Chains A and B, each alone.
Chain A
Amino acid sequence: MTSLTHLQRLEAESIQIMREVVAEAENPVMLYSVGKDSAVMLHLARKAFAPGPPPFPLLHVDTRWKFRAMYEFRDKMAEDIGMDLLVHINPEGVEKDINPFTHGSAIHTDVMKTEGLKQALDKYGFDAAFGGARRDEEKSRAKERIFSFRSAQHRWDPKNQRPELWKLYNTRKNPKESIRVFPISNWTELDIWQYIHLQNIPIVPLYYSAERPVVERDGALIMVDDERMPLEPGEVPMMRKVRFRTLGCYPLTGAVESEADTLPAIIQEMLLTKTSERQGRVIDHDSAASMEKKKQEGYF
């Protein structure tokens, strides 16, 4: 008997979780944020249900403030793989023109992401949603179970979580409850990069280092991705060689200076880094334990 590598073990675990959800849930969906974790999750889903397409659609909760390269990549991927892609934008947020600059990151995230997600789940009646969160990203994600149950109001109760001993998952739901499922919860950022490299998974080019126009905001390098980005008086964006370790709304996502323009170089950089990729996310630093609060309110 051949022993599995650690990546093969993680892959097998994720595929088992996905099949379990499809067997137990009535109307599952895969949340697709266009980032590297979503890319890996999508790849795993296609493997899990090959040769057919995965028996669920993709859902992108759009805030209108993602990087342009992400939109291009999302549309191309949806076309290439032939899966249904549902895009939901909170219409109330659009009406009020909610944006990270005038309303701040907390309100923007709450309205466009958390409320948008809840609206989309209710609208389509999804009872299980795959998400690409990982334990190593952030402490509140570390303690969340792989099968994370949400109330009818999509709230998470971190003090009332089901045990998952011996990787046995209890999928029984109370009426109107839903499940958020994290198939790659046990993966690390390094695992993700190694898997992307080994499986040759396409990812958004923003992950690779290139010269990009950036401005400094509170120590973070924010890319000027379009003309909507308001500049300080006299400010001139500088072209710097940067890449993104995580992707979200561009005004809220910090870049890191890097020379890593290939997957092996990114992996090498990962081996030396001592910070979480979410250091670059402004929304994680709104207040103490802000991610846990957001998750309790329904954020992914």
Chain B
Amino acid sequence: MATKHLSPEVLNERRKQAVRLRLDGYTVAVASQQTGLSAPTVSAAWKAFREGGWAAVPVKPRGRLKGQANVLSADIQALLWQMLYQEPQDNLLHTMPGWGSADLAEWLNTYHAVELSQRAIEHWWEAEGLKHEPWRLNHFAKQRSQEGRWFRKSVLPRFAQLKDADQRWQGGVRRVAHPSGSIYQIYLHGSRGRLLMRCFKKPPEAKAYVAVFEALASLGAAALVFHGALFSASPEVTAWLDQQPSFWLVPVPADLVLDE
């Protein structure tokens, strides 16, 4: 495999291996054969080692460093915040339980003539601490852990009823520490980890959760694995959930660790 197709981690490991082989007295040709690297790459790694020691062997990280990206202008950021604090249904386009990067990009383009890629919005989310990674729930399927038992007992039967991946959601609520103060975020992950969100200046109230759930339920039968709220203490949410024939909420117990 050509070096350019290797991940930086694998490439660095192989460069180190090549240097170790050279230190053991093997030729460039043998080192190249054993590591799968080209002869010039083995030579380059060897040269780097002789000039700078082990620290010089790994390649430099590819691409732009984190934080060096073009920062969105203050006006665009203000617009994005404004939208995240509003219900998506109030503004546009589709009935969605939260704002996705595509919706935000479309809305900016339609109403403010601002061209912004989804990727730029997702980078901005990351910089603001709003990006939440989906849990790899399927990894728990065969685990002999508390998480595994919970997944098999509570999640799998619900998910099994819903054949379409678009009907299986996961989400939660959390507080995001932000330089401007506390931000409360309801996040949702759809199929393939697509992230949707809404933000609040105070802990979300029952009507906000119900609005999100209603939007999800309007898309069809759905199951939502949800973390971060004690709905059993909320009569409004439990009453709404009781009336739903095809929307299932699976709360994540407090003592489970789903983040990797």
Give Cα distance in the complex from A91 to B187, angstroms. 48
Which chain A residues border B236 with CB–CB below 8 Å?
234
Task: Determine if A237 and B233 form an interchain contact, defined as CB atoms under 8 angstroms apart.
Answer: yes
Of residues 160 through 219 on chain B, the ones whose CB sits less than 8 Å from some CB of chain A are 173, 175, 184, 202-207, 209
Residues in B neighbouring A50, C-beta threshold 8 A: none
A224 within 8 A of B: yes
Interface size of A by CB at 8 A reads 17
B interface majority secondary structure: mixed
Asked whether B231 lies within 8 Å of A236 as measured between CB atoms, the reply is yes
Interface of A is mostly: strand
Contact (Cβ within 8 A) A211 B234 = no
- Asked, given contacts A210-B254, A210-B255, A211-B255, whether A236 binds B209 with beta carbons under 8 Å apart, the answer is yes
Residues of B within 8 A of A44 (CB): none
For chain B, the bracket of interface size reads 20 to 34
Given the complex, which residues of B lie within 8 Å of A211, measured CB to CB? 254-255
Task: From the candidates A213, A224, A236, A240, name the one contacting B175 in the complex (CB within 8 A).
Answer: A240
Task: Kindly identify which residue among A227, A234, A239 contacts B229, using a CB–CB cutoff of 8 Å.
Answer: A239
* A227 vs B227: C-alpha distance when bound (angstroms): 20
- B230 CB within 8 Å of chain A: yes
Complex formed: what's the CA distance from A212 to B228 in Å?
Answer: 9
Q: Which of A211-227 contact B (CB under 8 A)?
A: 211-213, 215-216, 224, 227
Whole-angstrom distance between the alpha carbons of A140 and B173 in the complex? 41
User: A-B pairs with the 8 shortest C-beta distances?
Assistant: A234-B205, A213-B230, A211-B254, A237-B230, A236-B234, A234-B206, A239-B228, A236-B229
B-side interface residues toward A, CB under 8 Å? 173, 175, 184, 202-207, 209, 227-231, 233-234, 236-237, 254-255
The interface of chain A, by Cβ under 8 A from chain B, is 210-213, 215-216, 224, 227, 231, 234-240, 257
